[in-house]
Structure 1
Amino acid sequence: MNAMLKRPMKTLMAVGVSLGLAVGFSATVSASDWKPTKAVEYIAPANPGGGWDTLVRTTANVIRAEGLSDQNFAAINVPGGGGAIAWAQIARDSKNDHKLFATSPPIILVPLSGTSRFNHKDFTPIARLITDYSIVLVRADSPYQTVNDLFNAIKNNSRLSVGGGSAAGSMDHISIAGAASVAGLKASDVNYIAFSGGGEAMTNLLGGHVEAVITGAGESLGQLEGNQLRALAVSSPERIQGALSSVPTYQEQGIDYTFDIWRGVMGPKDMSPAAVTYYQDLFAKMMETDSWTEATTRLGWLDAYQNSEEFGAFLDEQLEQFSAVLGELGLLRQ
């Protein structure tokens, strides 16, 4: 479990190398004059306010503000099924060079859990863009001062619950179950309660219906500002600078575990090679702008660029890793 879920520092360092190589590669192959000839449908497979929606709107705004494309990237929300509703619609639109969608670990996890018949191989990887991390939150008056306090309590009382805004077997569940496993519990010992979104999970935490919540670090900033919650651990390899710099990592607390919430962009299957080159080059240029730097600093995101080929290989690796975790949880359906 440990070896499968850890994201060592050398991997993150390699991202910087990948960016340099990818930009060079794009400059070489972008001799094609292909450009979008109409507005690009840019889909967030969820309601407004979550991680996918934030990625879509942030990148679209930066592209527009920096004048990187003559066409508008139109944000469209298609919620339902943890992404499955949007994926089904996009899968029917093969070869469409004017459609993109935001993606993250659920593109692997949801199909493995059996709640979508479409997986990452049914789409075209464009680029991985950023990495966020998971964070464990408790109420400010909680007796748990460290994440080990929480795990020890769970070990002694299986009824204690941890809430999250993704489905059972999806991103939040996998993150907390993996950490618990490395800490010496069974992944299945975590009584995970799935809510319809992060907002509902927070409401239940504040209402005392769950002991803790697992969510994205970038999405937790607003919740922590009110001083009603306290963060116990973040899944990054080092402390996150800025507003979350006081939150210890799992590793600082003796749990040799990290977990990336990567986010990127994909398109329909069988997009033209020229369109793929255009988009991966566009996102690489976007990430070099001041507007992007300002946005990622505000959101606590870390650049983690991979071009289309690299991103596709990364997704295949994620499939292997998450299959093992879901198998341990008894949630693997393939």
Structure 2
Amino acid sequence: MTAQVLNEEGMIKENIGVVNKSGGGGAVGWAYVAGFEGNPHKLFVSSPPIVLIPLNGQSEYGHEDFTPLSNLIADYAAFAVREDAKWDNLNELFEDMKKDPESITVVGASAPGSMDHIQFVQIAKAAGVDIKKIKYVSDQEGGALTQLLNGSVDVYSTGVAETVEQVKAGKIKVLGVTSEERLEGEVLEDFPTAIEQGIDETFINWRGFFGPADMDPAAVDFYEKKFKELSDSDAFAEIRDQFGWDEMYLNNEEYKQFLNEQKKDIKSLLDELGISAN
């Protein structure tokens, strides 16, 4: 989508090729780019897994091995249960988890120690749940929602956009989202935040662009300006609104500082869970 807007709005004249290298929560893609040190034409989009996955030992490359160019958007997590579940809000869920955390199973599409797991853990910890006892199962084959609907698991930790159609269909309900304020848009505006339920914590699924290590400063400056132009454009604002994303532009220096802070916070969580590899 970003490549399309950059081209269609004339921000970048050259055609931008997009290649999907799936696997490892993004690790396959960024490992590929790591081999193009200094090349200004090999970029990739990443999100919290570029911090999480190296910390839990599943990738030899972390954000420090690349050039953060610009962050563009903030997305958020949603915690959903079946429509007929006994919980109607996060506090009811977490009260039961405090009493018997292992009696409730949480499913996500990412591996243990990666995003769907950690976004739930971060909010649960703030609510007073013993995070070491949270029962999290990973379904990386696309079956997490099915597990929720057929009763194999109790809670689905996912992205906000992944819940909308099932909420419309009356199959699930969202107990809470991890944004600071309620999101805008049909259905989204009905999802309560963790904060408004008295849980003083958020989780941002940020997304931005990276390049290989040792990029020329002139190339970094070029991309910063182009991504800022993209972020400020009406065309990209429409895309953000369509998916319920917030604007979160960070330039190169701001992005580096943000990523370092993220690493510190996430490592503390992984250490507490006993799954940090560093």
TM-score scaled to structure 2, two decimals?
A: 0.96
Among 161, 171, 175, the residue aligned to 2:119: 175
1:190 corresponds in structure 2 to 134
CA deviations over 1:273-298 (Å, ceiling 9, x no partner): 11111111111111222211111111
- Determine whether 1:123 maps to 2:70: no
The AA in structure 2 aligned to 1:216 is: G
Which segment drifts farther, 263-272 or 221-230?
A: 221-230
- Partners of 1:164 and 1:319 in 2: CA distance: 21
The answer to whether 1:101 aligns with 2:55 is: no
Q: How many residues align?
A: 276
Any idea what the Cα deviations from partners look like across 1:161-214, whole Å, max 9, x if unmatched?
A: 1111111111111111111111111112221111116x4211111111110111
State the AA in 1 paired with 2:185: G
Q: For 1:302-317, what aligned pairs fall within 5 Å after superposition? A: 302-317=246-261
- The equivalent residue for 1:30 is none
| One-letter code aligned to 1:306 | L
Distance in 2 (CA, whole Å) between partners of 1:225 and 1:63 is 33
Task: List runs of 5+ in structure 2 lacking aligned partners.
Answer: none
Residue 220 of structure 1, CA deviation: 2.5
Structure 2 residue matching 1:99: 3-state secondary structure: coil
**Could you tell me which of 122, 136, 148 is aligned with 1:205?**
148
Structure 1 residue identity aligned to 2:94: F
The residue that corresponds to 2:219 in the other structure is: 275
Map of 1:252 onto structure 2:
196
Question: Partner residue of 1:324?
Answer: 268
Deviation at 1:85, TM superposition (A): 1.6
What RMSD over aligned residues (CA atoms) do the two structures have, in Å? 1.3
Q: Distance in 2 between matches of 1:308 and 1:325?
A: 26
Deviation for aligned residue 1:218: 2.9
Structure-2 residue corresponding to 1:74 = 17
Residue aligned with 1:297, SS: helix
Answer yes or no: is 1:165 the counterpart of 2:114: no
| Structure 2 SS opposite 1:116 | coil
Equivalent pair of 2:163/2:174 in contact (CA under 8 Å): no
State whether residues 26 and 50 of structure 2, in contact with CA within 8 Å, keep that contact through their aligned partners in structure 1: yes
Distance 2:97 2:57 in 1: 28
For residue 75 of structure 1, give the secondary structure of its aligned residue in structure 2.
coil
Q: Distance in 1 between matches of 2:224 and 2:138?
A: 34
The runs of 4+ residues in structure 1 deviating greater than 4 Å are none
User: Does residue 84 of the first structure (1) align with residue 27 of the second (2)?
Assistant: yes
**5+ long unaligned stretches in structure 1:** 1-57
Whether contact under 8 Å (1:155, 1:189) holds in the other structure is no
Which secondary structure does the structure 1 equivalent of 2:72 belong to? Answer: strand
CA distances 1:60-105 after superposition (whole Å, capped 9, x unpaired) = 1211221111112222111112222222211111111101101111
Aligned partners of 1:177 and 1:188 also within 8 Å: no
Q: Helix, strand or coil: the match of 1:70?
A: coil
- Post-superposition Cα deviations, 1:44-72, rounded to whole Å, max 9, x if no partner, equal xxxxxxxxxxxxxx211211221111112
User: Aligned-pair distance for 1:226?
Assistant: 2.0
Cα 1:225–1:61 change in 2 (3 A) is farther
Alpha-carbon distance in structure 2 between the residues aligned to 1:265 and 1:221: 27
Q: CA deviation at 1:318?
A: 0.8
The aligned amino acid for 1:102 is V
1:225 aligns with 2:168: yes
CA distance in 1, matches of 2:253, 2:26: 23
CA shift for structure 1 position 224: 2.4
Identity %: 42
- Of residues 227, 237, 240, the one that matches 2:183 is 240
